[in-house]
Structures are given as C-alpha cells and as structure tokens.
A and B are shown apart, each in its own frame.
Chain A
Amino acid sequence: MAVRKRRPPEKLFNSADVQASRSAKIIKPDVLAKMVKKAKNPVLITGGRLLEDEALVDYAVKIQRCGVAIIATGASSKPLLERGVKPDSCVFTLHHITQFLLDAEWQGFKGKPYDLALFLGFEPYYLSRMLSALKHFSKLTTANIDAFYQPHARFSFPNTLDLHHEILEEFVSALGGGSIGKKED
C-alpha cells in the first residue's frame, strides 16, 4: 500500500548516541557530489541493506559508473555482481574495512589510499560505531549517504527515511558525467 512520504524529524537515530565532539555536518547532495568529484580516490562502501532494497543497489551501480570504487560488505556484493558491478572487495566486513582504513599505511585494495569514503546501506547503529572509530582515530573524510543522519561521520545527509531514494537520485544526478578518481596528485 502507498505510504505517505513526509519530512522525517531531525533526531539522532538513537537519542543516546551522543558525543562531546563535533557532529556531522549536514550536506546537500549536490555539494557532496562536488566533493566526490574533487576527491583523489573516493570509495563507496556498501552494506547489507542492499539485500533488502533493490533501489540502493541501483544507486550504488550508478555511483560506481561515475568512477567511484566499491567495497562491498554485508554480502552486498551479490546483488552488485548480478548487475555487472565488480566490487574491489567482497569478503571483508565493515569491521575489517574500518580497521584497514584506520591504518595510515593501508594502500586500499588497488594500491592507492582512499581519501573520501561514502557509506550506503548499513544498520545505523553498526555504522555509527565504525564512523566513530574513523572520526577519532583517522584523518579520513567520511560521508554518510544512508537514510538516517549519522552524527559521527564528517558529513551526512539528514534523516531522509522515506525520502531517501529521492535524495540519492539528486546525488547521483549531480555526480553524473564527472571525472572522479582521475585527478592527479
């Protein structure tokens, strides 16, 4: 049945997930798209929600086609591979990936460190903890493009919930035709 779409409240996904340090800056999709285009080696990290929401798979595919590498976690590789997208890695969990990203020596899966990580399709509470680790112990720029605002990312979409697909559409449109990942050092 059709469910009425409306603007969700501006609340933390969990009101007790509070930290003393900075909260994520809310970012508009077109601004984030510009940031991705400027990044030297951006990466999209996908999670298990892609197994439940085909539209998220569509958006991940579109983002990848704009030149952003994908690291698939939570078994999200399966629907991506079915759409012809080969992620840089499939077997490592978000926990592994976070541990790797925390290490300044890590050269990514293709020999080049990532400078901007986008996160899509995660259980909010799990992603929150990993973003917290990255916030406190790394210099990586993180951006949450999931349906719930993530306070511990550097940048985050606001709570979008039922409007999530629309905001992803805007983001993907703004990304289209860019030259992501081509910029020289």
Chain B
Amino acid sequence: MSFELKEGIFVLDELKNVSIKVGRVIEEEEEKEKEWEPAGPTPKPHILDLRHWDRRLLERYEPIYAPMQDFCNLCTMGPCELSQNKEGACGIDLKTQKARLVTIACLIGASAHAAHARHLLEYAIEKFGHDYPIDLGGNVDIEAPNIRLVCGIKPRTLGDLEEVLDYVEQGLVRVLHTTHTGQEEDYIDFESKALEVGMLDHVAMETADLVQMVVFDYPKGDPNAPLIDIGFGVLEVDKPVILVIGHNILPARNIDDYLREHGLEDEVEIAGLCCTAIDTTRYDPKAKIVGTLSYELRAIRSGIPDVVVTDEQCIRADTLRECSRLGIPVIASSEAAARGLPDRTHENPDVIVNDLVSGKAKGVFIRDPDKVGEIAVRVAIEMRRKKGKKPAFMSDEELKAEIRKCTGCMGCVFACPHNLRIDRAMEAAKNGDFSVFKEIEGSCIACGRCEQACPREIRIVDVIMKASYDSLVNKTGKMRAGRGPVQDTEIRNVGQPIVMGTIPGVIAPIGCPNYPKSRKEVSEIIEEFLKRKYIVATTGCHAMDLGMYKDEEGKSLYEKYPGSFDAGGLVNCGSCVSNPHISGAAIKIASIFAMRPLRANYAEIADYILNRVGAVGLAWGPYSQKAASIATGFNRLGIPAVVGPHAAKYRRAYIGKIWKREKWWVYDIKTKKRINVEPCPDALLIAAETKEEAIVQLARLCIRPADTHMGRQIKLTHYIELSKKYLGCLPDDWHLYVRTEADLPLKMKEELLKILEDEHGWKIDWQKKRILEGPIRHYDSGFNPTILEEVFDKYAR
C-alpha cells in the first residue's frame, strides 16, 4: 500500500506497512501565507485566460500594421507574396503575418529578460541559498506587484522565484508554439498573444531585478540614491580601463569584488555601457558609466579600454572584430554571445591571462562570472603596462587623408538610418569646415552602416568622432543610481492626486538610444514635464541620457530635481529589468490607494489603471525587441506609450479612432449604466515624429475618464499650454475632454466657453458661465468607470 501526498497538511495515525512518498513539504506558516489575500480569478493565467481583456482593449485600440516586408519566407512552401493583404500558401494574410512577427519580436524580447532572470536566480541560489529572504525594507511591503498580480504568489525567498520563472518560461514556449506555420488565423488573437508575452516580460524583469536587488544589496526605493559619474570624460584614462558591456551584472560585479578584495579599486577603472553599467553602479557607486549602446563603437574605437568584457543582450555583434583591430582582448561571459571563442572556463587563469595579454588569443569565453573578475582585472593591468601611453585616437593627417578619399557618391547617406548628409559634411571638411560633422555627431548612433557602404573604405565613424572628439571624450554628467521600487509610502502620498488628476501624470522615459535627432532631445522633453510637476520615472538608456546633459549652471536633471516619486520628482528605477517598478507603481496605486484586490486579478487592475492612472511611457529611441515587449506589457496593463519615429518599424501600433464615437464607452458602476465617454487615452502605442509632437502627445495621453474636475482642469491646462507652445494653436480635440465648465483652465475659461459656443455649437449660460449643453457627458463626482462586465457585475450588482 502506498500514498502519494502532494500538497497540504496531513495527519496519519496507526498505519502499518505503509510506504509514504512525500512531495513538496508545506509548512504550517507557509499554508497561512497562502492566505495573505484571497486569490483572484486568474492565478498564473493561461494563454487564453485574459483574451477577453485583450479583445476589449483592441476593440477600441485597433492595431495598425505598417509592413516592412510584404512577403513571408518562414516555411518552404514560400516565399509567399502577401501584398494588399493576400494570403500565402499556408493561408495566412499580411495583417496576421505582421501580428505574428510582432508576437515573435515580443517573444525575443521577453525571452532575453527571462533568461537573464534565470541566470541571476541560478547564480544567487547557488551562492546564497533557496531560503535567502526577499526583503526590500520597511517602506516596500508590496515587494513584487507584477508577480503578485499575475502569478498570485507573494515571493518570500529566492526559492519562491523558481516557480515564477517556471511559469514565465512555460508561457513563452506556449506562445512561441502558436507562431508555427499553419495555426492562428486571426490577427487579434495574435495580438492577444503578444500582449500575453508583454505581461510575462514584466514578471520576468521583476524577478531579475528582485534577485539582484536583494542579494547584491542595491538601493531599495531610496530617493537619495547616490549620484553617479557618467560620460566619457569621467574616465581616468591613464589607469587600466575595463569596459563592461551588456545587461547582466554578474561578471561586472565580480570584477568589482576582485578590485575591492585586492585593494585595486583606485588603481583600475571599471566603466560600463548600457544596462550593465547602470546595475554596476547600483552595486558600487564608484563604478562609472560611459553611456548607452550608441557609445559602444565610439568607446571601443577610442582605444581607451584595455580589456572588454561582454555579457548579454544589447551588445554589437562585431565586438570581437572591432576590438581585435585595436588589439583589445575580449572576454565573453554569456551563452547568449560566445562570439566563436573557445570555452576556457576550466583553464588555469595564469595561462588565460598570458594568452590574452600576449595576443595569442584575441578573446576567450569564460562561463564562470567569478573567474571573469580575476582575469579581467589582471589582463587590464598587464595590457596597460604593456601598451604604455595610450595612442592618440586619430591624427589630423589621418583625418585629412580619410576625408580626401571621399568622392561624394552618397552611398553613406543612403545607408545611414537617419540619412545624415555625410556627403555635405565631407565636402565642407575638405575646405576645413568641420561644423557639419559636429552637427551630425549629435544624431549619429555610430552603427557603422555608412562604413559598410563606402566603396573607398573611409572610416566614417572615426571621422565623425574625430571632428567632435574633444567634446565627446570630455563629456561628463551625473545620473542618480537606480533606486529600484517606488516605496509603498510614496504611493500612499501620491495615489490620490494621481487618480484625481491633480498630479497631472506620470511620464516614464524608458528604452533605447535610437533617437530621431539629437541625443539631447530626451532631456528637453522630460524637463518640460518636470517643470510642470509631473512625476517622471525612468529606466535604461533614457535614464543614462537624462544624466548626460547639463544646463548653463552645469547641472544635470538629476541634480536639479529630487529623486522622489512625487510631483516634480525624477526617479531612476534602474536598468531595463527595472521597468516593472514603473508598471508596479501603477499596480500599487490600484492596490494601496484604491484597495482593489491585487492577487491574481490582472484584468480588474489593468482596467482600473486604464481608466484612472494617468501614466504614459516614452520610448524616444526604441530599437530592440526588448523595447517592443516592454511596451506591449505596459499596454496590456492599460498604460499607453509614445514612441519615437523609428518605432514605426516595429510594424504595429494600437491607435483608437477618435471620430468613432461608438467606440468610446464605459460602464459606470455608480449609475449602473453604459455611457459614452471622452476618448481618453486615444491610443496605447503611437509614434511621434518630433520632440515637439511627442511632448503634446504625452500631455494628451495623461487624460483619463475618471479625472476629477480639478484634475481635468490641471491636465487640460498643461495640454492646451503645450499645444499652444509647440503646435501654435489650441489642440483640435480639447473640447472632447470638457465635461463641465469646472474642467476648463481658469485663465482661459471665458475664451474657451466662447469657442465652445461659436465653433462647437454648445449652449452656454453666460450669466452663470455654465455649460448647458454640448459635452459628451456631464461630470459626476462619483463616476466609477470600467470596460469590463465582470468588474461591473462585481461592484454594481
């Protein structure tokens, strides 16, 4: 006789000859913990469990597809031409194929974060154990809002996160399976899958950041996290320089530990690019940041690094080739990018160091991050000693020789992602005028496509760099170290003003540096909102670029604005995987301020956020699949995003049709009626072309149906002021957001009432200065909107 006890508490008395097989042991305390909040309707939702929410969203925010290619070549029945929405051999049409590709892009992005989380978790459990507690301090009780919301799990230890990642990985595989040829035939269903992946991505990112925050003791919600040096100019280039590139802290953290353990922290510079840089400075504020991905080629070609260490994600695929040209050894450390290098993880470090320094090996692949620490430091020191004084980047003679080679064929112009007029710059430079090159440098992302196209093999990136070399290598700035989560106490303070609208919005600049124009633009956009007392919460490359530019007094935005999650505060949450602290803040507003049940209750919370929380993302330079996935995750949670024009290449956006009045409705829980509402927000994902347009769209998308009249008045004031400032006029749609005269900006009230009467035919009582007729609906202070029947049923009936 045998029993298998899977889960629960059991009492066995007076049994003989019984074999008992014990599954996972559930302690009494843990059993109680399961009751921390009653489980909601969708714990660990299956691929179809939130489909109803997605379809409701997409009825209003219709996908728009902008095909990059109009053919499919993913299977051997093809290639199939799908132009004008034709069907291919498998039956798929162009729209559905684009939705499929977007789903695949999101899968790539979310998988990058999930694998990153898995790497960190495996390492952390090995070093610190399953039972290492997840504790973010007294000010952060809701430690994992996304995990609680999606999985219904309140993680207490590292071990608990294994279950979370198991779920994410299974979910990603389930969606990946649906992208196989010959399956889904409805583009909305593919979009639902993309939204599912975006949601899973936020869970994966939250897991990754939780792990590193707790085991590496990063700042945990500290608004006064230290200011970090950023920019080429902060590097002491006479010291050995280790350049760490990528997104995974593990090798960089071990380099930092090795330096400290050996008293070398003042002898060797550790400098980072991209999110590894951000996370290294969360671990050690003395570490330095060179900049974003767009500085990678510049940093390598400057010849400043003595060794380059790569981990995973956004790293150039020619890093080894570029470094080898300059004799810079490379240490690859991630399975994601072994770079064709031999795996020398188990070899004697002395041999590896010798091979790298002597040039016998251009690079090595070392899987053990602990070992990377020692080798990178030793190689950097010995390389510095061997090379002596660093050679000048490019002599004036070399520069002139390169410029002389140009025939003006314009191959570079047509290869450049921005079609920068390099030909004009070359022609001017031949006459000694480098001003055009200096202008170009501000917009150049140093991708190197121009060099690939040049028939004369001109080192165009180097020429552009050389023309601005002094300002480039002397650039310095300050970034506040990534603080991780928003404190629960901060949410208690700002939850109500955000929902009422008296804090006009939360702007979240996140994402990559593929900007349409100057790298400075993101600072210019954001300062407009900081001055107007919006809350700004940032991550990733945008967080770095916000620290890179200084005002006339030499101060970066981080030095001018406080780091608190409050009106006019600039919060740097951290790296890419810190994005769930922003989605988490929105979730916490619903949970802490509005007391909505959080556990496994995704659709209700997303519905709450869509209708009440005026938060908008800004991805001004998105390029990666991760950015696509992150934005899609925000969208499923009811948070819109404004993206730069390059994001049109993601092929899909979600844009409502403001003129289709029947699309804009909600159930009002108070009056128990379905009513028409103002079209806000009118898009979940939209590309703006210029910074001026982006500013106006951001202010516009902060408007929510549940704004109080005071909140709507403040939001409309900013929207109208910004529109007048940047568009030169009142916005076309301002009247749609007016429910009562109390919504109108005070200073413009009479003028706007007159326009409502004259141009829109509204009836105005001029004695009382009241609106009698005209608005889509009248203001009701108890208005309680939802677009979900289940939420309406729960609270209204």
Q: Is A122 an interface residue (CB 8 A)?
A: yes
Please tell me if A59 contacts chain B, counting CB pairs below 8 Å: no
**Which residues of A lie under 8 Å from residue B659 when comparing CB positions?**
100, 106
Stretch in A30-38, A62-70, A85-93, A166-174 with 4+ CB within 8 Å of B: A85-93
Residues in B with CB closer than 8 Å to A75 are 690, 692-693, 696, 726-727
Chain A count of residues within 8 A CB distance of the other chain: 60
Q: CA A38 – CA B349 in complex, angstroms?
A: 78
Q: Is A81 an interface residue (CB 8 A)?
A: yes
B559 at the interface (CB under 8 A from A): no
Decide: A93 near B417, CB < 8 A? Known: A8-B410, A75-B696. no
Chain B 681-698, CB-CB to A under 8 Å as 1, else 0, gives: 011001111101100110
Whether, in the assembled complex, A14 has its beta carbon less than 8 Å from a beta carbon of chain B, the answer is yes
Are A20 and B64 interface neighbours, CB within 8 A? Answer: no
Q: Is the CB of B419 within 8 A of A13?
A: yes
Stretch at the interface among B297-305, B494-502, B643-651: B643-651
Q: Are B689 and A123 in contact (CB under 8 A)?
A: yes
* B746 proximity list for chain A (CB < 8 A): none
User: Do residues B66 and A12 form an inter-chain contact, with CB atoms below 8 A?
Assistant: no
Are B728 and A78 in touch, CB under 8 angstroms? yes
Which B residues between 154 and 207 are near A, CB-CB below 8 angstroms?
Answer: none
Chain B residues near A126 (CB-CB < 8 A): 645-646, 648, 687, 689
Known contacts A11-B414, A99-B62, A78 near B727 by CB under 8 Å: yes
Produce 1/0 per residue, A93-128, CB < 8 A to B.
111101110110110010000000000001111100
User: Does A74 make an interface contact (CB < 8 A)?
Assistant: yes
Query: Do the beta carbons of B64 and A9 come within 8 Å of each other?
Result: no
Q: Which of B62, B70, B409, B733 contacts A21 (CB 8 A)?
A: B70
Q: How far is the CA of A102 from the CA of B212 in the complex (A)?
A: 46
Residue in B79, B408, B453, B732 whose CB lies within 8 Å of A89: B732
Contact in complex: B689, A137 (CB < 8 Å): no
State whether the Cβ of B457 lies closer than 8 Å to any Cβ in chain A.
no
CB distance from B360 to the nearest CB of A (A): 38
Q: Are B68 and A129 in contact (CB under 8 A)?
A: yes
Counting CB contacts under 8 A, is A136 at the interface?
yes
Among B217-225, B423-431, B591-599, which stretch is in contact with chain A? B423-431
Q: Is the pair A91, B723 in contact by a Cβ cutoff of 8 Å?
A: yes
B565 at the interface (CB under 8 A from A): no
Cβ-closest chain B residue relative to A102: B64
What separation, in Å, do the CA atoms of A136 and B81 have in the docked complex?
12
**Closest B-chain residue to A98, C-beta based?**
B64
Are B729 and A125 touching (Cβ within 8 A)? no
Distance to closest chain B CB from A93 (angstroms): 5
* Centre residue among A73, A77, A103, A109 by max chain B CB count within 10 A: A77
Q: Known: A15-B414, A73-B693, A95-B686. Is A148-B726 also a contact (CB below 8 A)?
A: no
Do B68 and A132 have beta carbons less than 8 Å apart?
yes
A47 at the binding interface (Cβ < 8 Å): yes
> Does B648 contact A1, Cβ atoms closer than 8 Å?
no
Are the CB atoms of B729 and A81 closer together than 8 Å? yes
Question: Given A77-B729, A92-B732, A93-B697, do A130 and B66 touch, yes or no (CB 8 Å)?
Answer: yes
**CB–CB A90/B729 < 8 A:** yes
**Tally of A-B residue pairs with Cβ under 8 A?**
175
Is B85's CB within 8 Å of the partner chain A?
yes
Which A residues are in CB contact (< 8 Å) with B682? 96
A137 — which chain B residues lie within 8 A by C-beta? 65, 84-85, 94-95
Asked if B94 and A136 make an inter-chain contact with CB atoms under 8 angstroms apart, the answer reads yes
Q: How far is the CB of A97 from chain B (nearest CB, A)?
A: 10
Contact B728 A17 (CB under 8 A): no
Asked if B67 and A133 make an inter-chain contact with CB atoms under 8 angstroms apart, the answer reads yes
A79 to B409, CA, bound (A): 34
Say yes or no: A1 contacts B431, CB within 8 Å: yes
The smallest beta-carbon distance between B356 and chain A, in angstroms, is: 36
- Contact between B433 and A1 (Cβ–Cβ < 8 Å)? yes
Q: Does A82 contact B (CB under 8 A)?
A: yes
Is the C-beta of B83 less than 8 angstroms from some C-beta in chain A?
A: yes
Q: Which residue of B lies closest to A19 (CB)?
A: B70
As a 0/1 sequence over residues 45 to 80 of chain A, the CB contacts with chain B under 8 angstroms (1 = contact) are: 001100100000000000000000000111101111
Bound CA span A95–B647, Å = 11
Task: List residues of chain B with CB within 8 A of the CB of A48.
Answer: 689-690, 692-693
Using known A-B contacts A136-B84, A137-B95, determine if residue A91 contacts B67 with beta carbons closer than 8 Å. Answer: no
Q: Of all chain B residues, which has the CB nearest A79?
A: B728
B69 within 8 A of A: yes
- Residue of A with least CB distance to B696: A91
Assembled-state Cα–Cα distance A81/B730 (Å): 11
Which chain A residue lies CB-closest to B719? A91
Q: Which residues of A are found within 8 Å of B696, using beta-carbon distances? A: 75, 91
Inter-subunit contact B428/A73 (CB<8 Å): no
Q: Are B414 and A12 in contact (CB under 8 A)?
A: yes
A130 to B647, CA, bound (A): 12
Query: For residue B435, which residue of chain A has the nearest CB?
Result: A1
Identify A93's interface contact among B415, B419, B693, B731, CB under 8 A.
Answer: B693
Query: Which residues of B lie under 8 Å from residue A1 when comparing CB positions?
Result: 428, 431, 433
Inter-chain contacts of B411 with A (CB < 8 A): 9
Shortest distance between the CB of A25 and any CB in chain B (Å): 16
Leading 9 A-B pairs by shortest Cβ distance: A21-B83, A75-B692, A78-B728, A48-B690, A129-B66, A126-B645, A74-B689, A129-B648, A91-B731
- Would you list 23 pairs from A and B whose C-beta atoms are within 8 A, ordered by A residue? A15-B453, A20-B81, A48-B689, A51-B692, A73-B689, A74-B688, A78-B729, A79-B728, A81-B728, A90-B723, A91-B723, A91-B727, A96-B686, A105-B660, A125-B417, A126-B645, A126-B687, A126-B689, A129-B651, A132-B68, A133-B64, A133-B67, A136-B94
Q: A48-B693, A95-B64, A132-B66 are in contact. List 10 more A-B contacts (CB 8 A).
A: A6-B408, A9-B410, A74-B693, A75-B726, A91-B696, A91-B732, A95-B653, A122-B689, A123-B516, A126-B689
